[in-house]
Structure 1
Amino acid sequence: MDNIQIKRSLFDHTIGLLQRSLDLRTFRHRILSDNVANSENPDFTPKEVSFQKVLQETMQGRSAGFIRTTHSHHLSGDVPGTVEVASSAEGIQLDQEMAKLAENNLMFQAGVQALLKKFEGIKTVIQEGGR
């Protein structure tokens, strides 16, 4: 295996996709938390992040980009078309939103574990490579 093949296998697109997935999970958590926080507000319209759609576009290289804000005065990280207004005329169903939050949290944790495994593999290759 030559150096180019080693670099490609170590630093494939998996890390970037996992990072993007974690960013989107964080963004979705923010949207769902906003829905829960406004569950008593009759004028509030719940929103949803089209996670699957954005990740699919990312994998196909068509993503418009995902901007992460690090300060409250920065521009919004919302990507047009990723946040959709819920079609429910009933408003927010608190139990459903809480279930979505729990599922999103589990998926985030799974993504973190996958990323850790990827980095452990890279660490092993680096440590064992000189032997």
Structure 2
Amino acid sequence: MRGKMADSRIFGHTSKVIETALDVSARRHNLIAGNIANMDTIGYQPKDLDFNSTLKRAMGEKEPDFLDKTHPMHLSTDDDDPSFAMNGENSDAVDIYHLDSVNIDTEMMNLTENNIKYRTTTEMLLRKMKILHYSIDEGGK
């Protein structure tokens, strides 16, 4: 019991937010990378998540759902989910002249934005660790 109390005072809510933000950012990076990798795949629908709402939900009481659908046509990422199929579409119905469902400019913009958020969160973590180091070192005495 005492250990848990000490941990909460040292690492507190800020560290939990930083940890969760890094997790959400890493998950979003994987989705964006998957979109870019599948940009020439017929029928592929890009996936993304809203960083802020996903982080808020992850910090809430209920179990976080890190893979937020931002569009009703986006696919589920759960392999066991029957809705993972192509929404009843077959390959004959795909318009081969409009294969560009993934916009590389949008994906690169999303990747850059996510990278900035990840680097900012990492800087916050480093500053938190410096404060802890300073405290442990008794303020440099």
Question: Shorter-chain TM-score: what band?
Answer: 0.7 to 0.9
More strand by share: 1
Q: Find the counterpart in structure 2 of residue 119 from structure 1.
A: 129
Which moves more between the two structures, 97-106 or 10-19?
10-19
Contact 2:49 2:69 in 1 (8 A): yes
Give, as a single letter, the amino acid of the residue that structure 2 aligns with 1:82. Answer: L
Task: Name the residue aligned to 1:104.
Answer: 114
Structure 2 segments unaligned to the other structure (5+ residues): 1-5, 75-97
Query: Over aligned residue pairs, what C-alpha RMSD do you find?
Result: 2.8
The letter for the 1-side match of 2:23 is D
Letter in 2 for 1:84: K
When normalised by structure 1's length, the TM-score is 0.72
Give the conservation status (yes or no) of the 8 Å contact 2:54–2:68: no
Q: Is the Cα–Cα contact under 8 Å of residues 51 and 82 in structure 1 kept in the other structure?
A: no
Tell me if the contact between 2:134 and 2:140 (Cα under 8 Å) persists in the aligned partners: no
Amino acid at match of 2:132: I
Deviation at 1:35, TM superposition (A): 0.3
Q: Which amino acid aligns with 1:49?
A: L
Higher relative contact order (CA 8 A, sep 6+): 1
Structure of higher CA gyration radius: 2
Distance in 2 of aligned mates of 1:123 and 1:24: 27
Paired residue total:
112
* TM-score where L is the length of structure 2: 0.67
Structure-2 change in CA distance of 1:48 and 1:128 (3 Å): same
Percent identical residues: 26
Counterpart in the other structure of 2:68? 83
